[in-house]
Amino acid sequence: MFDNILPVAKQVFILFTIIGVGFAFTKLKLLDKQKVSGLIDIVVYIVTPSNIIISFQRDFKNELLMQLGLSFVLALLVFFLNFVIARIFIKEKNPDKNCVLQFAAALPNAGYMALPLQKAVLGDIGVFYGASYIAIFHCYVWTYGVKLLSKEKSKINFKKIIFNPPIIGIFIGLILFVTQVRLPELISSPLTYFSALNTPLPMLIIGYYLANTDLKATFTNLWVYAGAFIKLMISPTLAIILCLLFRAESDVTTACVIACSAPSAALSGMLAMKFDRDTQVSVGMISLTTILCIITMPILVALARTLIP
């Protein structure tokens, strides 16, 4: 197991080095809200879809399609179980804090944090399987997630699900994969260059959020620790158990556990602000889980790779 910890720990440390640069740039006033907003748009609208499309540019195999389908099933089940567990065990008296904690405990940073690590550890096949977690993530966010955070009755926003840039990237990539259409170099080369930004830009964004967090307020709320425990320990443990039950192969398992052991979704903070919920506790969850995952993620991913080599 120790042999499996070192490679993952190395990749996590590299990511946190880039996060440190984002943190330092924020403290030096070189990175601000306006600039980060622009970076987020670039990541969401260009970098992530490009990364996904390029990862689907591979030879078609029935086995790959089956394993991709299994990844979707695993994502659907583990996120559902996360929400059930969070709803049962998180009982913050303040409803504005409670719903945000339940949301942040259930859904991981499948795009910003998980996808770069999936690519670092597994290569393009990690992004191939990791795309399923992004798809299911957005399905939950714009259905149950919105219902959980909204103070009024809200309808399911199918438009937000279908026309989300990463989802569009998955649809395009899947069509190209099944039809075995290869993109011409004039298109694939720019996509590859954009894809290369998938690691540094999201990490700089996370560094910005960390630099603007009131850590004192975070560390004094015991329910934040409960949410972090569910997010960083319970969720990946459930993922490992499900992978064992479904007899998932090694790469599928690794991609699954990386996604589930990632910190809380950055979108929880944005939606908390949108629905007038407690933004401080959401940022606290994102920051605490991001800091702690440098320890928990390598251990749990290594455990998964040991159990399912």
What total of structural domains would you count in the chain? 1
Q: Does residue 95 lie in a domain region?
A: yes
Q: Does residue 294 lie in a domain region?
A: yes
Retrieve residue 192's tokens. 């590859």
Confidence (pTM): 0.87
Nearest alpha carbon to residue 268 among 9, 86, 120: 86
Q: CA–CA distance from 1 to each of 242, 249, 299, 305 (Å)?
A: 20, 17, 9, 8
Per DSSP, the chain holds a count of helices (H) and strands (E) of: 18, 0
Retrieve residue 75's tokens. 């994502």
Is 246 in a helix, a strand, or coil?
coil
Q: Does residue 309 lie in a domain region?
A: no
Q: What is the pLDDT of residue 2?
A: 60
Q: Does residue 8 lie in a domain region?
A: yes
Q: Does residue 273 lie in a domain region?
A: yes
Sign of CA dihedral 116, 11, 226, 75: positive
Q: What is the pLDDT of residue 1?
A: 65
Q: What is the pLDDT of residue 290?
A: 87
- Rounded Cα distance, 278 and 275, in Å: 9
Number of other CB atoms surrounding residue 268 within 10 Å: 28
Q: Does residue 308 lie in a domain region?
A: no
Q: Does residue 176 lie in a domain region?
A: yes
CA dihedral 31, 34, 40, 41 (to 10 degrees): -140
pLDDT along the chain (309 residues), means of 10: 75 88 93 88 90 92 94 96 96 92 93 87 93 92 88 75 89 94 94 90 85 76 92 97 96 96 86 82 86 92 90
Residues 234-266 as b/e (b if ≥16 CB within 10 A, e otherwise) read bbbbbbbebbeeeebeebbbbbbbbbbbbbbbb
Angle (CA) 286-292-297 rounded to 5° is 105
- Rounded Cα distance, 164 and 158, in Å: 10
Specify the DSSP class assigned to residue 198. Answer: G
- Rounded Cα distance, 145 and 106, in Å: 10
Q: What is the pLDDT of residue 211?
A: 87
Q: What is the pLDDT of residue 309?
A: 81
Q: 53 with 222: CB under 8 angstroms?
A: no
Q: Provide the residue range defining the domain that includes 52.
A: 2-302
Report which residue type is found at 150.
Answer: S
- Rounded Cα distance, 248 and 246, in Å: 5
Q: Does residue 64 lie in a domain region?
A: yes
CATH of the domain at 73: 1.20.1530.20
The owner of tokens 């030096």 is: 28
Q: What is the pLDDT of residue 5?
A: 81
- Rounded Cα distance, 52 and 37, in Å: 22
Q: 201 with 39: CB under 8 angstroms?
A: yes
